[in-house]
Structure 1
Amino acid sequence: MSRNPLLSTHGLTAGYGDFQALFGIDFEIHRGEVVAFIGANGAGKSTFLKCLMGLVATPPGTVRLDGEPIARRSPHESVKLGLAMVPEGRRLFAGMSVEDNLLVARDHGRRLPEGGRAWTLERVHALFPVLRDKRDARVESLSGGQQQMVSIGRALLCNPRLLLCDELSLGLAPLVIREIYAALPTITAEGTAALIVEQDVGLAKSASSRLYCLLEGRVTLHRSSADVSRAEITEAYFGTSHHAVA
């Protein structure tokens, strides 16, 4: 792992009007790393991803890519810098085919350095073969898991350095969830990092090298995923040890 983080935040605060959603978030992720964000509904996890993508305004200097500040940018500019999001709810284009939903991203992503290996339609098909079989089907005819694969494939075709994944497992069957998460090592093998926001704490632990827990907009835990205990997660998740985390 590189000593210098790919992306980091420094005392990040954010909110909506008079409502403050995040309080002083310090975070870092390195090339090829999978990091998980856990926390209850309303903890600020999705807001954090939106800050990274430029969907929510952030104070100058609080978000840095390769050490350089990247505040005050549009989501389109974020994609060009190498950030891509797999949004909660997938947000695919109904009425369009699977292939058209994928190709819409092809001309809007990051330009690779010379010798860089781009994500192509063929590579996405190799990752999720069902998308080749369903290439001409309207995207709304797919199962939820297949739609999630389209959403991931669309993000990959932007050639991201950092993939932001918001609730990949939400509403999906366990077998499909395993198939989707099994793709992560292939995605990160060439240096792409992945930040996963996940409600399933066990899944978040097993898929990541480190995890952060948010409670009411504050980081209450940051540990190696392999070393953190259930008791520590429970305390961080709820702010009390008198509850249990599934």
Structure 2
Amino acid sequence: MSGAILSTHGLIARYGDFQALYGIDFEIDAGEAVALIGANGAGKSTFLRALMGLLPVAAGMVRMEGTPIGGTATDRMVQMGVAIVPEGRRLFAGMSVEDNLRVAMDQAERLGRKGGWSLQRLHDLFPILKEKARTPVQSLSGGQQQMVSIGRALLCQPKLLLCDEISLGLAPKVIREIYAALPEVRAQGTSIILVEQDVGLAKQASDRLYCLLEGRVTLTGPSAEVTRDAISQAYFGGSHAVV
């Protein structure tokens, strides 16, 4: 696992007295896309929250390029090159598209993050963001808001991008447009952890996948080799399988 940009080791996470994750072992390499699938309540979003320092976890349970970082504050995670596209988007209502994006640019500058993402490059990736630059984000469609959310994360200049249910509630055409942008993100050397309910999308967009059930890993393997039968069993029960 020496080549892993990020890895977890027996990761346990709790909400108060409720334990949500039970000993998760995970890794992702530079430039790799790894999908995290599972039913609602399986622990997928909790896993991303634990990585971003939004839940208390022991330092050694999360490592970035070998360095223990578990429980590190979110701002520090962004400074180290981890950004999240959160479920629900969480944009700044009342602000324009460009102002939302400039908040991320200002944060990256403040934290000393440098990289290849700029407004121009983002406009090339999602042309609608240039067209809607002065539009208040609350006036956008759900898909357009999701593009702003992804753009905001990219402008933090991440080497690891966490995507939490980016297709949720969107029209199929919009989903295709958003997923078509991910190869360009990866082409910049950015790794992606993709939490996704749609198994077909998850398999197409990732190199490897992990399936979670009730806070435990029930299946891991190369996305192209994992069968629908194996995924179905992993979703609903069965011992941990490695393909």
Task: Tell me if TM exceeds 0.5.
Answer: yes
Q: What is the SS of the residue equivalent to 1:206?
A: helix
Q: How does 1:147-226 map onto structure 2 within 5 Å?
A: 147-226=145-224
In 1, are the aligned partners of 2:163 and 2:194 still within 8 Å (CA)?
A: yes
Q: What is the SS of the residue equivalent to 1:106?
A: helix
Q: Which moved more, 1:118-127 or 1:151-160?
A: 118-127
Q: Summarize deviations over 1:47-75 as a string: whole Å, max 9, x none.
A: 00001100011112010000000123211
2:112 maps to a residue whose letter is R
Distance (whole Å) between structure 2 residues aligned to residue 123 and residue 93 of structure 1? 22
In 2, are the aligned partners of 1:80 and 1:108 still within 8 Å (CA)?
A: no
Tell me what 1:244 maps to: none
1:146 paired to 2:150? no
Select the structure that is richer in helix.
Answer: 2
Q: What is the SS of the residue equivalent to 2:202?
A: helix
Tell me what 2:40 maps to: 41
Tell me what 1:101 maps to: 100
2:82 maps to a residue whose letter is L
In 1, are the aligned partners of 2:2 and 2:66 still within 8 Å (CA)?
A: no
Distance (whole Å) between structure 2 residues aligned to residue 67 and residue 108 of structure 1? 26
1:227 paired to 2:231? no
Tell me what 2:241 maps to: none
Q: Summarize deviations over 1:107-137 as a string: whole Å, max 9, x none.
A: 222635xxx6431111111100000000000
Q: TM-score, normalised by structure 1?
A: 0.93
Q: How big is the shift at 1:190?
A: 1.9
Tell me what 1:7 maps to: 6
Distance (whole Å) between structure 2 residues aligned to residue 124 and residue 3 of structure 1? 32
Q: How big is the shift at 1:3?
A: 5.9
Q: What is the SS of the residue equivalent to 1:105?
A: helix
Tell me what 1:55 maps to: 54
- Equivalent of residue 117 in structure 2, options 96, 116, 119: 119
2:60 maps to a residue whose letter is G
1:55 maps to a residue whose letter is L
2:61 maps to a residue whose letter is T
Tell me what 2:25 maps to: 26
1:137 maps to a residue whose letter is T
Distance (whole Å) between structure 2 residues aligned to residue 19 and residue 3 of structure 1? 33
Q: How many residues align?
A: 236
In 1, are the aligned partners of 2:2 and 2:65 still within 8 Å (CA)?
A: no
Distance (whole Å) between structure 2 residues aligned to residue 97 and residue 191 of structure 1? 29
Structure 1 runs of 4+ aligned residues shifted over 3 Å read none
Q: What is the SS of the residue equivalent to 1:164?
A: strand
Tell me what 1:82 maps to: 81
Distance (whole Å) between structure 2 residues aligned to residue 52 and residue 128 of structure 1? 27
Distance (whole Å) between structure 2 residues aligned to residue 117 and residue 142 of structure 1? 28
Distance (whole Å) between structure 2 residues aligned to residue 108 and residue 117 of structure 1? 13
Q: Percent identity?
A: 66
Distance (whole Å) between structure 2 residues aligned to residue 203 and residue 149 of structure 1? 17
TM-aligned CA distance change 1:3 to 1:65, over 3 Å: closer
